[in-house]
Amino acid sequence: MSLPLSLIRSSLLVGLGSIASRILGFVRDLLFAQALGAGPVADAFLTAFRLPNLVRRIVGEGGLNPALVPHLSRMEPKDAAAAAGDAISVFALALLGLTALVEISAGLVALLLAPGLRDEGTLALAAFYTRLAFPIVVSVTLSSVAAAILNMRGRYGATALAPLVVNTGLILTVVVLEKAFVLPLEAKAAWLSAASSGAGFLQLLAVWAALRQGQDPLVRFRRPRWSPALKNLLLAGFPALVASGAVQLFVLAGTQVASFWPSGISWLYYAERVMQLPLGLMAALGTSVLLPALARHHHAGETAAIVSAQHRALEMALLLALPAGAALLILSVPVTTVLFERGAFLPADSAGTAQVLAALSLGLPFATAGKVLSQTLFARGALRQTIAGTGLGIVVTLASGVILAPLGGAAGIALGISLGCAAHAAAMVRLLARAGLWRPDRRFLGRVARIALSTGVMGLGLSAAQRIQAPTDSLSLAAFCLGGLALYAAAAWLTGAVTRDDVRAFR
């Protein structure tokens, strides 16, 4: 059984939106590196930016979908609209209270996020930037609730494009600050922190406009009723966020360890942003498109369809994740040098970031697999099990980071994050096997083997080309990437990792 054509087309739409958002986010981070470098101010800013950006990425990639979609999909449209309105109202009140608490205790929050920032000046900056940046959490979380409702009704366009607003706003802010003003690093970081909150509000307005389109209202507001349905929905919301943001939580745990190393926070942030380019695409595909399809199969009792859709989606994910991980490992030095080394970002920062990127690239296939496989458990409402798997990954990340950091510095911490991703993926496989939903067939195993073989061919070609002449500028790096992609595509076609049916599915 193959993925339905509608699911593939929806995946393509969400994927294109995610790619555009990731590209803009990557441009934003390149400008961050150029404007702030990787010193104490950058560490303070990125510490403050880490928590709201963590929430933005989790909810922006459909982190609340596991709680909202299965629950609302079981209700009649009128009742679902009322329940959605109640959920939005209660979430808004809770988020405003949380924001007020963070504003009051920003110093403690900064210390918890980066306990290694012992310098009082750096810690004070991190607290100040946290107060400016955290209000974005209100906007992006409410946007995610609205996006989940739109996705459930098959309206993917607005939810795929709305996240572009935040990154576009931040890019414009950096450009203006760099071109029109001469400001110290501390002031630049302050303006960027405040701009993130303003851009989040614009994203909320965009999603809200999409929600109000159409004749039948998708949300009906009233005075919230504390019904059993609302209670169950809210109780599932926090576990869904924790379970959906597994990889981001592993990185957050690694950041805590990295804060004890000079520039460790900055190096880890920039390297992780490169890794997020391919990972974000698979995350958006899984939570926005695959999860609703799995939920429908689960409610209909179609076990075979669940297993088939899950395995086919994992094939699609690994088709991208394996070559992406291999390419980032091989090209880690030229990628960081060409992309980041300018302005306040020094050669020593490029070398440190490259080592971290190489270590993180090893975990990319495991992070992708864990993200896809967890969607089946979400569709079944098995949030406790997925949280347990996330907890295991966090423990492995922290333990490995503490052990490996004295040996490899920030790169050792990044390797610990990769081990955490591997432990999480293994936990998802075990949970699915216990539920009778992990039955890899011959087609799946054969496809994965062919993808691995094609990745090996690409890796050999990139390694040989780099020994002859490593890329030194944007043009040569682009040529390497396109050449590696072409080699991988040819190998995938010749080995059967990609077939004519796959190509026809996207027409």
Structure tokens at 357: 């990127």
CA-to-CA distance for 445 and 329, rounded, in angstroms?
A: 24
Kindly state whether residues 457 and 385 are assigned to the same domain. Answer: no
Whose tokens are 């049916």? That residue is: 501
- CA-nearest of 96, 82, 98 to 224 is 82
384 and 461 assigned to the same domain = no
Q: Are 14 and 160 in contact (CB under 8 A)?
A: yes
Three-class DSSP labels, 391-456: HHHHHHHHHHHHHHHHHHCHHHHHHHHHHHHHHHHHHHHHHHHHCCCCCCCHHHHHHHHHHHHHHH
Q: What's at 328, amino acid-wise? A: L
Q: Where a domain ends, among 416, 439, 462?
A: 439
For the record, the structure tokens of 173 come out as 């802010």
Could you tell me the maximum CA-CA distance found in the chain, to the nearest angstrom? Answer: 69
- Full domain range(s) for residue 259: 5-439
pLDDT in tens, the chain (507 residues): 444 444 455 555 555 666 777 788 888 888 988 888 888 888 899 888 888 877 776 665 555 666 666 666 666 667 677 777 777 788 788 888 989 999 999 888 888 888 887 776 888 899 999 999 999 888 888 887 777 777 666 665 566 667 788 888 899 999 999 888 888 889 999 999 999 899 888 888 888 877 777 656 667 667 766 666 666 666 666 666 666 678 888 999 999 999 888 888 999 999 998 888 777 665 555 444 554 556 565 555 666 777 777 777 788 888 888 999 999 999 999 999 998 988 888 899 999 999 999 999 999 999 988 888 887 777 676 777 888 889 999 999 999 999 999 988 899 999 999 999 999 999 999 998 888 888 888 888 998 999 999 999 999 999 999 998 888 888 999 999 999 999 999 999 999 888 776 655 444
In this structure, are residues 271 and 415 in contact, taking their beta carbons and an 8 Å threshold?
no
Same domain as 417, residue 477:
no
Q: Which residue spans within 91-181 are E strands per DSSP? A: none
| 473: DSSP letter | S
The count of domains in the chain is 2
* Dihedral, CA of residue 330, residue 332, residue 333 and residue 338, to nearest 10: 120
Tell me the Cα Rg of the chain. 22
Residues 217 and 298 grouped into a single domain:
yes
**Alpha-carbon distance 377 to 438, whole Å?**
11
Are 298 and 431 in a shared domain? yes
Q: Which helix (H) or strand (E) holds 235?
A: helix 228-244
43 and 17 fall within a common domain: yes
- Last-in-domain residue among 423, 439, 455: 439
Which of 439, 455, 474 is the last residue before a domain boundary? Answer: 439
Q: Are 185 and 214 contained in the same domain? A: yes
One domain for residues 426 and 455: no
Same domain, 418 and 451: no
43: tokens are: 């560490």
Residues 195, 199, 201, 202: what is their CA dihedral angle, to the nearest 10 degrees?
140
406 and 468 part of one domain: no
Q: Are residues 196 and 212 in the same domain?
A: yes
489 and 408 in a common domain: no
First to last CA, the chain: 19
